[in-house]
Amino acid sequence: MTARGAVFLDRDGTVTEPRHYPADPGDLVLQPGVGPALRRLQDQGRSLVLVTNQSGLARGLFSPRTLDAMHRHLRTLLMAYGVHLDGIYVCPHHPDGSIDGLSFRCACRKPRAGLLLAAAEELDIDLASSWMVGDFRSDIEAGLRVGCRTAWVGPNSATGTGPPGVEPTLRTATVAEALHHIARLRS
């Protein structure tokens, strides 16, 4: 099997509408136009991989069971468009958390690259032909650390700045616009 390109996607504020610590499956609502745009990328043969920081677990705001239910709900929402996620990678850690075993500085919390590296290894992804799409600088930093092209989406993309060298490949006001741009590039 030959490695293929992927589109790594942040969850909250990227695939789904922004919510502060969503803790119920019903809190997850797809961003406008995301379903059809993801379907087009999937039809082109790209892997679609969710990579999400979920410090609500470390903070005790919701349980792993609730997070699993949320991701089942998200998969159902996407299946309405014929979209299948190749993987969901979650960082449950946060150094300020209150749950034993989750309250530490890890290698997987974006902007670190652990989630993307794990997905690339497990799913045979070619990072150089992949994209990281997200609504925060930490998403862009994670993508750049592994050699992906990056798309910074949403209101922060217009004014957000990062440390030197943290400049996204693409900035767009909407997620759908970024996904359509990536699909047009086809590589």
148 labeled binding residue: no
Task: Grade residue 64 by pLDDT with cuts at 50, 70 and 90.
Answer: very high
| In the chain, domain spans | 6-185
Q: Verify whether residue 12 is a known catalytic residue.
A: yes
Q: Do the annotations mark residue 86 as ligand-binding? A: no
Mean pLDDT for 41-49 is 97
Task: State mean pLDDT over 29-58.
Answer: 97
Q: What's the rounded mean pLDDT across residues 41-69?
A: 97
Q: Measuring CA to CA, how many Å separate 79 from each of 52, 76, 82, 125, 182? A: 19, 5, 5, 22, 21
* pTM, two decimal places: 0.95
Q: Per the residue annotation, which of 12, 86, 100, 124 is the catalytic one?
A: 12
Q: Encode 129-164: b = buried (16+ Cβ within 10 Å), e = exposed.
A: ebbbbbbbbbbbbbbbbbebbbbbbbebbeebebee
pLDDT tens by residue, 141-151 = 999 999 999 99
With a cut of 70, say whether residue 162 has pLDDT above it.
Answer: no
**Pairwise CA distance, residues 181 & 176, whole Å:** 9
**pLDDT (mean) for 46-68:** 96
Query: Any catalytic annotation for residue 86?
Result: no
Which residues, in sequence order, are bridge partners of residue 89? 51
Domain 6-185 has CATH 3.40.50.2000: no
